[in-house]
Amino acid sequence: SDFARYSSLNNGRRAPVAPRALLTEITNKPQTPPRRRNAAMRALLLGIHLTTSYALVAPRGGARRLTSTQLHVFKEPTTPKPVEAPRRPKSKLRPRDPSLYMEPVPLVPDAEGNWEPLVSEIWTDVEKMSKLAETNFKAELSRFRDFCDHYRTARGTIESNGRTLSAQTRLFDVDFDDAGPIRKTKDHKWVRKLAKRVHPIVLEEYEQALNPTTTRNGTWATRKQITWSNTQVMAVRGTPWDAPPTASEEEEVADPKAGMDEAARDAAAAAEEMSAGDGDAPTRSTPPAEEMVSVVEEPPLDPTQYQQLLLQQVTPLKTGVLRFPRTMKALGRYEATSPPPRHVIISRLPPGCSTEPRSDLQNFLLTTHIPLSGQGELTCGGETVAYEEAKPVVFDSTRSYSIKNTGSEDLLLLHVDFWHPAVTEDEKQMLAYFWMLWQFDQYHPSTRAKYTRRVNFRKDQERREREERRKAIKRSDKKDGGGGGGGGSIAR
């Protein structure tokens, strides 16, 4: 500008101050817009962009263009493996509910009223827990110790005053609490609260279970329909518990390395490998994994007979946990049903159907029926009472009782066992622990063959993996020439 040119002519000397008129003239002078400079800058940037893009598309040297985009480094497999769905990592913490990972043994007596005798490993656990409870928590468990003695020694049933008890599983004396077959609900006020709370919840969850709108993840829950049964409860075992095991329940071939220690197993595996490889190897003690699954099919369900849906059997089962969660949560809020005593069943009787008279044989429990829908009546110990919807009926299930549908629609009942009011809190805890061990322990006689097969299969699998690792190490030793610190030594 004129002012800058005027200042530079002074050669570093202090520039004289310009008069006010000159400054005003410079400020008001119209400035030419820098269109030419902007156009030149745009042209320069466009040229740079075109040059770089051409260098990327056509490299120097005139190299030929690729005719295809296929990678020639790796050969694509002719039959690609199917992509497996991502698996959820196994949690190291076992779920609190054992039914989520184990199926219980059916809690039914045999025809003589006996339950299965426990093995010594379970008795060790029971005695250890009872001693800890008495020592640390000052629990009064004399009746529970008598119960354990009865379970060990007594067999058969005891009939007295219209009641039928199992001599093996009685906690009280035979004539204890002879208050009649049908009990007054005013003596068990919590049952009224339970029925009022549970009745709409059970009906809602029952409708959802019959008509599911969503499928859950997991192998069991992908089934659309719930499974009714005639044989889970309200039945007796056909063969006595003390009958000798059949050949199918025992292992046909014993594991040849089952009793060896680690060194002996390694030596035996090395001897097999040196002799003739897999040819002289002993026959496998267990079938492969797919052959180990044995499903016992139930007889086809008769729609005219009494049907039951088992939600709880000492511990909540999968049907109860997954299909009726709010019902099971409501039951856990009352002292008489927590910890879980025995059964929670949804019973369905078609029109005109009635059940055979039966007794539940255990006098430390009482039972309530909560009618959900339909009409019917309960006969217990010679007394008959009609069902009213959502009105509970409490009765002594050690007496002979039966149910009959007197209406034209299905009779739907909620059968809930609860602790007798005379059972103390300590006895509740120990009895619940006792029956849980009875059902889920690995030494249980009914599950022992299954458990042994599983253990032997795992041992066999580990042995084969060790042999494969040993062979791989020997192959690498031969290839690399062995040596102390070479690439093929074990120190690698």
**For the segment 155-177, what is each residue's pLDDT rounded down to a tens digit?**
899 998 889 999 999 999 988 88
Residue 280 has pLDDT above 80, yes or no: no
Residue 245 has pLDDT above 70, yes or no: no
pLDDT at residue 249, as a whole number = 47
**Mean pLDDT computed over 88-100:** 52
Name the residue with tokens 């500008």: 1
**Mean pLDDT computed over 337-352:** 91
Cβ contact 313:233 at 8 Å:
yes
pLDDT at residue 94, as a whole number = 47
Question: Pick the residue with more confidence: 82 or 332?
Answer: 332
pLDDT at residue 2, as a whole number = 57
Task: Provide the pLDDT confidence category of residue 31 given band limits of 50, 70 and 90.
Answer: low
Residue 329 has pLDDT above 60, yes or no: yes
Residue 279 has pLDDT above 50, yes or no: no
**For the segment 71-88, what is each residue's pLDDT rounded down to a tens digit?**
566 666 677 677 766 666
DSSP bridge pairs for 365: 419
Nearest CA-CA partner of 199 in 345, 463, 390, 70: 390
Question: Pick the residue with more confidence: 45 or 64?
Answer: 45
Distances (CA, A) of 228 to 108, 209, 300: 17, 12, 10
Residue 212 has pLDDT above 60, yes or no: yes
What whole-number distance in Å separates Cα of residue 250 and Cα of residue 74? 52
What whole-number distance in Å separates Cα of residue 135 and Cα of residue 192? 38
Residue 225 has pLDDT above 90, yes or no: no
Distances (CA, A) of 366 to 130, 220, 309: 24, 32, 20
SS3 label, residue 403: strand
Task: Provide the pLDDT confidence category of residue 92 given band limits of 50, 70 and 90.
Answer: low
Question: Pick the residue with more confidence: 437 or 220?
Answer: 437
- Token pair in block for residue 33: 């817009």
Task: Provide the pLDDT confidence category of residue 37 given band limits of 50, 70 and 90.
Answer: low
Q: What percentage of the chain reaches a pLDDT higher than 70? A: 60
Write b or e for each residue in 52-63: b if 16 or more Cβ atoms lie within 10 A of its Cβ, otherwise e.
Answer: eeeeeeeeeeee
pLDDT at residue 286, as a whole number = 46
pLDDT at residue 284, as a whole number = 45
- Output DSSP code: residue 82: P
**Mean pLDDT computed over 13-36:** 55
- Token pair in block for residue 165: 């008890």
Residue 4 has pLDDT above 80, yes or no: no
Helix, strand, coil distribution of the chain in percent, nearest 5: 40, 15, 50
**Mean pLDDT computed over 301-326:** 83
Report the range of poorest mean pLDDT among 40-49, 52-61, 134-143. Answer: 52-61
- Output DSSP code: residue 457: H
**For the segment 20-30, what is each residue's pLDDT rounded down to a tens digit?**
554 555 555 55
- Token pair in block for residue 232: 């889970």
Task: Provide the pLDDT confidence category of residue 410 given band limits of 50, 70 and 90.
Answer: very high
SS3 label, residue 87: coil
What whole-number distance in Å separates Cα of residue 129 and Cα of residue 118? 16
Residue 352 has pLDDT above 80, yes or no: yes
Distances (CA, A) of 177 to 42, 141, 163, 363, 368: 104, 20, 11, 9, 17
DSSP string, 343-387: EEEEEEE-TT-BPPPB----TTEEEEEEEEES-EEEEETTEEEE-
Task: Provide the pLDDT confidence category of residue 205 given band limits of 50, 70 and 90.
Answer: very high
- Token pair in block for residue 134: 């008495």
Categorise residue 481: left if φ over 0, alpha if ψ from -120 to 50, beta otherwise: left
Nearest CA-CA partner of 391 in 407, 403, 376: 376
What whole-number distance in Å separates Cα of residue 311 and Cα of residue 329? 12
CB atoms within 10 A of CB 185: 16
Give the residue ranges of DSSP H helices in 70-109: none
Report the range of poorest mean pLDDT among 2-16, 99-113, 277-291, 358-372. Answer: 277-291
Residue 124 has pLDDT above 70, yes or no: yes
CB atoms within 10 A of CB 77: 7
- Token pair in block for residue 86: 């991502």
pLDDT at residue 147, as a whole number = 94
pLDDT at residue 252, as a whole number = 47
Mean of the per-residue pLDDT values for the chain? 75
Residue 353 has pLDDT above 80, yes or no: yes
Distances (CA, A) of 407 to 88, 102, 349, 376: 49, 39, 10, 6
**Mean pLDDT computed over 365-377:** 95
Q: Could you report how far apart the first and last alpha carbons of the chain are, in Å?
A: 80
Could you tell me the maximum CA-CA distance found in the chain, to the nearest angstrom? Answer: 134
Helix (H) or strand (E) holding 160: strand 157-160
If you average pLDDT over each of 140-144, 255-259, 263-267, which comes out highest? 140-144
Question: Pick the residue with more confidence: 43 or 458?
Answer: 43
